[in-house]
Amino acid sequence: MEYPLLVFTTDFGLADSYVGVMKGVALGINPQARFIDLTHGIGPQDIGQGAFVLGVNYRHFPQNSIHVVVVDPDVGTSRWPVLISTPHGRFVGPDNGVLSRVLSDYLEDLPDTGEKANLPPGVSAVRLTNEAYWRHPVSDTFHGRDVFVPVAAHLSLGVPPTELGKPIDSLVWLPMLKPVVEPNGVSGQVIYKDVFGNLVSNIPAALLSGHTSVQVSIGGQTIEGLSRTFADTGSSSSAGLIALTGSHGYLEVAVPRGNAAAVLGIDTGDSVMVSFPDGC
């Protein structure tokens, strides 16, 4: 029998021992635990980036995977540790909004800023209150090691969620930067910058499909048309930039065999504007 995978998404990086220690603790509970690192490269304490990266990628893992999500600047305070069970994966992490993007896949309407998200049908959650499944003594600064991973390891052994805590019916909601659809275009933002310097926006490919002419404005530059691949000349700009649908399913801006973030000198949070010059 194969146990469910433990899949990690954290801001711990790989230079320190935090990630290795979490795996050691998990193996002390389930000696046959198996791990995959989705990434430990979330920007330090960047809950929004963690929510995005987890949210656009969790479906690439087996449905019974247990995701351990640790972007947790308020560790040790009154924010609760939670476990969410969905049709595609279980998620253990802090109730600070980092799971909002996953949750949004199941919500008809997104909550407003300041509201909590009510759990939709098919999704359940427990507040992790049963300290019998934690590592002791529990530190105030490393719940990845002392709470989230022990709970995930016990879960991988078959301990039911209701044994781990108390059912809850809403979660902290992180307002997501949604693109704004305008009469003749879409206004969005750079939401992620990858190691190649490709700039991933929050504008989903679906908002561009069907348009015969597309113009992308970013960092003072204008890109005409869309490319299909990094080597395709379907789009053009004076700075060698191209625009295309990236592998995350969102509009990306890139420089073929180059680094768009360096060329433009911009970063996450900066504006991306799409317009449809022909009005269609």
Contact positions toward its own copies, by CB under 8 A?
Answer: 2, 5, 7, 12-21, 23-25, 27-28, 31-32, 36-41, 44-45, 53, 57, 60-62, 65, 73-77, 139-142, 145, 194-196, 228-232, 244-247, 252, 256-257, 259
Minimum Å gap between C-beta 182 and its own copies is 27
Minimum Å gap between C-beta 234 and its own copies is 11
Minimum Å gap between C-beta 268 and its own copies is 13
Minimum Å gap between C-beta 275 and its own copies is 23
Per-residue CA distances from 178 to 31, 41, 95, 110 (Å)? 42, 23, 21, 10
Bond before 137 cis per omega within 30 degrees: yes
Minimum Å gap between C-beta 147 and its own copies is 12
Q: 15 or 132, CB closer to its own copies?
A: 15
Minimum Å gap between C-beta 28 and its own copies is 6
Minimum Å gap between C-beta 108 and its own copies is 25
- Report the 3 state secondary structure along the chain: CCCCCEEEEECCCCCCCHHHHHHHHHHHHCCCCCEEEEECCCCCCCHHHHHHHHHHHHHHCCCCCEEEEECCCCCCCCCCEEEEEECCEEEEEECCCCCHHHHHCCCCCCCCCCCEEECCCCCEEEEECCHHHCCCCCCCCCHHHHHHHHHHHHHHCCCCHHHHEEEECEEECCCCCCCEEECCEEEEEEEEECCCCCEEEEEEHHHCCCCCCCEEEECCEEEECCECCCCCCCCECCCCCEEEECCCCEEEEECCCCCHHHHHCCCCCCEEEEECCCCC
Q: 105 or 194, CB closer to its own copies?
A: 194
Q: 39 or 221, CB closer to its own copies?
A: 39
Q: 111 or 134, CB closer to its own copies?
A: 134
Q: 45 or 170, CB closer to its own copies?
A: 45
Q: 80 or 196, CB closer to its own copies?
A: 196
Q: 184 or 233, CB closer to its own copies?
A: 233
- Rounded Cα distance between 190 and 199, Å, is 6
